[in-house]
Structure formats: C-alpha cells, structure tokens
Structure 1
Amino acid sequence: MSKAKRLNEMIMMVNRKKRFTVGELAQEFGVSKRTILRDLQELSEMGVPLYSEVGPHGGYHILKERILPPIAFSEDEAISIFFMIHALKHYTSLPFKIEYESIKKKFYLNLSGDIRDAIDRLEDRVDFMAVYQQEEIPLLRQLLDAAIQQKVIVISYEVNEKISRRSIQPIGIYANEGKWYCPSYCFSTKDYRVFRCDRIKALTADEDTKPIDLSNITLKNRYLILDHDKETLKLYVELSKKGVEKFQTVNWSNIKLTKREDGTGYLSGSITKKDIYFFSDYFITYGKDAIVKKPFELVENIREKLYEILKIYNN
C-alpha cells in the first residue's frame, strides 16, 4: 500500500474509532510502529486534531472536531471553492467560530503549485462586490442553534435606542446587504417578525414558553406561519429593466417577479398592513425603476414620504 493511500485510510479509520494505539494501527496497516508514528506526525501537521495520552491505558484519540478525508477536485472546482471562501471577507461575523482566512490559507496551501499560480493570477481580477458588514455580531451561532433545536429564547432587542425583551423562536439566519437577519415567531406579539441580529444585545433560554412546531418551516417558506386570517393587501408593481435586475437579488416567497421578453417585468403578491412602511421605504430606493400600482395604502405612503423629502430640499 502506498504511503498516500495509507494516510488517507488512516484518516477515515481514526474518525471511526476515535481512540486507538500505535500498535493497533501498525497491525491494521502491516507496518512498523516507527512508521505509524511518522504517519501520525504527518497527519497532525495536515490538521488532524490528534491528542496523545501516556501510561498503561494511553494511546491516541481524536478531539471533538472531525477531519474529513481528502477529496479530489478538478482545477476549476478548486478555484471556484477558493473564491467562494474569498467572498466571505465582506462579513466580519459568521455563525461559525473558525475564521475564513484560516480556512482559505489551509485550502490554498494544499493545492498543487500550478493551481496556486492560477489563483494568484485571478485573485486581483475577480471579486464579489458586496456591502461590508461593519458590526461585530457575537450571537449569530446561538441564534442558529436555537433555530436548529427549535428552542424559545428571550432576547434584549434595541429599537430607537430603547431595549425591549421579547420571547422568540428563531427560524434561521440570513445575510443581506451587509446585515444579518433572524426571522422568528415572536411570542410577545403572537406574530412572525424579522429581527436585525446586530440589534439583539443579549439572549437567554426561555424555560417558561413552550415551543411551537416549526420543524417544516425554513427560510424559504417562512411566510407560511403568518396568520392568514389577518387582512392582506394585493401588491402590484411595474419594474423597468433596471428594476428587474435589482429585484432579482431579493428572495421574498410571498412576492413573485414576472419578467417580460423585453426585460421589463412586474411584481405581484400580497403584503400585510404592517408592512406598508417597510415597502414604501424599499420601493423609494428604486426611483423611476419601480412604479407601485397597488395597494392604494402603499402608494399614499410613498407619496407622503416623497413629499416630506421634497419639503426638505425646497427649504
């Protein structure tokens, strides 16, 4: 058996066994203990989290983190993965505790020389432009864990420089335009809400509130938990070509984009009355590239806000 194949099989074996001795590995692979010790040293340098214990009951065991066996990538696949990791540079906070720079460096150093050369040539030629996330958000992992485990938590939430306490059951977290958001069911208002993660200042487990069953609710279909008995308003918005391009970066399951052959399009769907203020601010950013036709309440709110803006400049 070649050394490379032995190391590969050794990684898979230590993942399965968790605890092992040098003698066991030597017998398994038919080599000397000295060879196994050299192999374990190489695995450690490759990043396999091994821990050794001395004594009659000693040996090796793998730490909590597991290491995946090597995976063969084509040149295009390797370059694509590198630049996907590279795109995370715009976010200073992630829901995982490992910094993306560490992952990128480890991945880069294990590539062959010609692929590293190709990445070096491309790194200053390819980028993913995004809004930089400025704030540190330390609670992302706790919010994600609460969503996965369907736990109810109490958050301290800042709105208009005031802190309020709310019981919520997170559905998940997502990033958009440099901000992290946490769509949740809010027990305080008995309604679906989307919370800005940077405004969540603290969280604790809520032992007094029984979770609701959100096992089938995901980020994609989260609008299903809305109370459909509430009054909703029909939305219709005409979009120019630029408006269509801008809206394609948005993913709202209750609003559908229909594109025409000439590149223009329109939005149709429904919104609740409490969403009027949000959507008026949102569609104002489109300028002439979005013309709201329905609902009347949204059109009126946009008109009022534009009038207030116009008064500022007239003065």
Structure 2
Amino acid sequence: MNERQLTMMRMLDPGRSFTARELAERFDVSVRTIQRDLDKLQELGYPLYSEPGRYGGYRVLPNRIMPPLQLNENEALGLYLIMNTFQQIPDLPFGQIRSFLAENYFTELPASTREKIRRVEKKVVFKASSVNRESKWTTVILEAALEQRELKLTYESAKGISKRSVFPIGLYFDQSWYMPAFYREKVLLFRVDRIISAEWGENQKDDLPTLIDWLAFPENREEVKVVLSFTDEGERRAKADPFYQDVKDRRWEGGVPLEELDFTATGLLSYGPHVKVEEPKSLETKLKMLYQKALDQYD
C-alpha cells in the first residue's frame, strides 16, 4: 500500500459520495491511477460501494477498515503493552474484540519486534485491583449514551430490585464501572454491576450534560461524614487504595453517599485490625455485624 492509498483511507468518510475524478484532481494524478488505487483498497477489504450512472461514484460503507498505523519499534511495543493493560479492565466497552485486536496486531509486526514483545511480556505484568462483580452491560450503556437514547433497566439497589427508565450520559471506571444517568429530573449514579438487564427504549433526550461536565459538577447525593483511623500498616495499605489514598497521619476523612455505606463496610473488612471507624456510628455497626457474621461461621 502506497502513501496515496493510505491518505485516501484517512480522508474518506462513510456516507459521503465522491468520484474518481475528484480524487484525481486532489492528488494530481490520472483518473485511471485513482481507479487502480480504489481497486486495491477494495481487494484489501476496504468497504467501497460503486454507484453507477452519470452522477454516480463511490461511497464508503459503515464499519470501514481503519488505515494501518505507521509506528517505529518502540511505539509499536508501547501500543501492544497498552492493549494488554486494557485487557485487565473488566467489561471494557466493545471488549469482545480486545484479544482479537491484540493478536492480529501482533501477527502483523516484524519478527524482530514480536520477539522483543515476547521478552518484555516476561518482565512486565499488569494486575487490576478490581473489586467489582462481572457485568456485561458497558457496551449497551455506551451506545445508548452516544445516541442519547433511553435505557430500560432492571436494577438491584439496597432497597431491592426495581425497573427504571434512564438516559445514560456516559461511563467511568473506578474499581467498578459507574453510569451517571438522567432519572426523574436529575442525574443519579448507578453501579453497572448491579444492573440485571438493560435494553434500549424508544425515547431520546438531547439536552443531557456531558460526562466531563457532570464529573466536574456532580449531582448532590446525600452523604455522611466518615472518619477512619489506621495503624501504620493500615495507612501503608490505604495509600495504595483509590478510596483512601489521601490518608494522612493515619487518619482519613471524607464524604460517603448514604447508599454506599454497606459497600464501604465490606471494603473495610480487608483491613482487619488495621482500621477503626471513628464515625459515623452506623458504619461502625455495619462493620461489627460483618465481623460477627464471619465469626459465627466458626461456632
């Protein structure tokens, strides 16, 4: 594939018609040369549709093949490691193609680069410290957010299982996947791993905030002040925990949404004797109950 053909792949958009003469004038070559280029792209699988007639031409179909990246060896190695890193994130949207993409990318690399990657893979390991349950709804949610479409959920919350119709504004990952979504005149935050089922509805809403805007100014949720004291070992662990990494002088203070107290108590179990709940009393009680349930198993 020559440079002109690569440039053509980058500039041609799905749905837009063009003629061989327009491309010939753009690249200052003959119409016959352009037609050979287009034939070559079609042979490689690029989805071009030919429209006959006086006003006909060519059109690029949806799901076109993207042009190949032109990278040096270090860039190619870095991209492969990035793809392997993403494989550690559970339920990544469109994640079903992750291993396929990495494998196909790998096989197209020169033999010397593939050998270097094999050596690097024995020296570098990525481990995601995720605490979430498995979910399969991230792709459906992201597509609904892109199309600003209604999403009909069966959702499990602390109050039980319910049916809800929401309008997702996006997804973000912080140990688990979260979906801010418009529901009953305000934006609420939903845990994706608590979604039992999800399907598109018929309605659309085009005045939603962007995810970036919402993250900068999130909707207020009722919060309670949480104060934790850690041992030296607990502080060391907390500094590696995204929830408590700003611990200072063995003490952590912050606001926790009221509906997330159960989740918070469960997470604190992993610290064992290295953390103590100073407040609120309700969180202390929840943690004690969890410890008691654990002890009851050995009676």
CA contact (8 A) 2:169 2:208 kept: no
Give the C-alpha shift of residue 72 in structure 1.
Answer: 4.3
Q: 1:58 to 1:113 in 2, by over 3 A?
A: farther
1:182 corresponds to which residue? 179
1:102 corresponds to which letter in structure 2?
F
Question: Is contact 1:169–1:184 with CA below 8 Å preserved after alignment?
Answer: yes
Say whether the 8 Å CA contact 2:170–2:211 is kept in structure 1. no
8 Å CA contact 1:152, 1:168 repeated in 2: yes
Kindly indicate whether the alpha-carbon contact (under 8 Å) linking 1:154 and 1:165 is maintained by their aligned counterparts in 2. Answer: yes
Q: Partner residue of 2:226? A: 235
Distance in structure 2 (CA, Å) of the matches to 1:49 and 1:187: 43
Within the candidate set 106, 112, 132, 1:108 is matched to 106
Query: How far does the alpha carbon of each residue in 1:136-156 deviate from its partner, in whole angstroms, 9 at most, with x for none?
Result: 62x423322444565554312
- What per-residue deviation string (whole Å, max 9, x for no partner) do you get for residues 190-212 of structure 1? 783423346331334375x9898
- Structure 2 CA distance for partners of 1:44 and 1:302, relative to 1, 3 Å: same
SS where residue 172 of structure 1 aligns?
Answer: coil
For 1:270, which of 243, 255, 259 is the aligned residue? 255
Shift in Å, 1:165: 0.7
1:5 match: 3
8 Å CA contact retained: 1:166, 1:187? no
Aligned residue number for residue 203 of structure 1: 199
Q: Is residue 267 of structure 2 the alignment partner of residue 282 of structure 1?
A: yes
Following TM superposition, by how much is the alpha carbon of 1:283 offset from its aligned partner in structure 2, in angstroms? 0.6
| Aligned pair partner of 1:78 in 76, 79, 94 | 76
Asked whether the 8 Å contact 2:228–2:279 carries over to 1, the reply is yes
1:78 CA drift (Å)? 2.0
Deviation at 1:46, TM superposition (A): 5.3
- Secondary structure at the counterpart of residue 129 of structure 1: coil
1:183 deviation in Å? 3.8
Alignment CA distance shift 1:42-1:93 (3 Å):
farther
Residue 242 of structure 2 corresponds to residue 250 of structure 1: yes
RMSD: 4.0
Query: Does the CA contact (< 8 Å) of 1:154 and 1:206 recur in 2?
Result: no
Q: Which segment is superposed worse, 38-47 or 111-120?
A: 38-47
Q: Kindly provide the CA deviation profile for residues 138-182 of structure 1, in whole angstroms up to 9, marking residues without a partner as x.
A: x4233224445655543122569x7521233434324465x5442
Q: Is the contact made by 1:234 and 1:294 (CA closer than 8 Å) also made in structure 2? A: yes
Other structure's SS at 2:247 match: strand
Moved more, 77-86 or 108-117: 108-117
Corresponding position of 1:62: 60
User: Is the partner of 1:285 in helix, strand or coil?
Assistant: helix
Aligned-partner Cα distance in 1 for 2:227–2:90? 37
Q: Aligned with 2:155: secondary structure?
A: strand
1:119 Cα offset (Å): 1.6
Say which of 87, 90, 93 aligns to 1:95.
Answer: 93
Q: 1:266 to 1:133 in 2, by over 3 A?
A: closer
Maintained 8 Å contact 2:155/2:197 = yes
Question: Aligned to 2:85, what secondary structure does the other structure show?
Answer: helix
Return the alpha-carbon distance in structure 2 between the equivalents of residues 212 and 30 of structure 1: 45
Residues in 1 aligned to 2:67 and 2:153: alpha-carbon distance in whole angstroms: 40
Unmatched 5+ residue regions in structure 1? none
Identical-residue share of aligned pairs (%): 28
Give the 3 Å change call, closer, same or farther, for CA 43–294 of structure 1 in structure 2. same
Whether contact under 8 Å (2:20, 2:31) holds in the other structure is yes
Residue 64 of structure 1: how far off its partner (Å): 2.4
* SS in structure 1 of the partner of residue 276 of structure 2: strand
Shift of 1:87: 3.0
Quick one: which amino acid aligns to residue 192 of structure 1? L
Are the aligned partners of 2:169 and 2:210 in contact in 1 as well (CA < 8 Å)?
Answer: no
Structure-2 change in CA distance of 1:123 and 1:45 (3 Å):
farther
CA separation of 1:206 and 1:14: change in aligned 2, threshold 3 A: closer
What is the alpha-carbon distance in structure 2 between the residues aligned to residue 66 and residue 146 of structure 1? 21
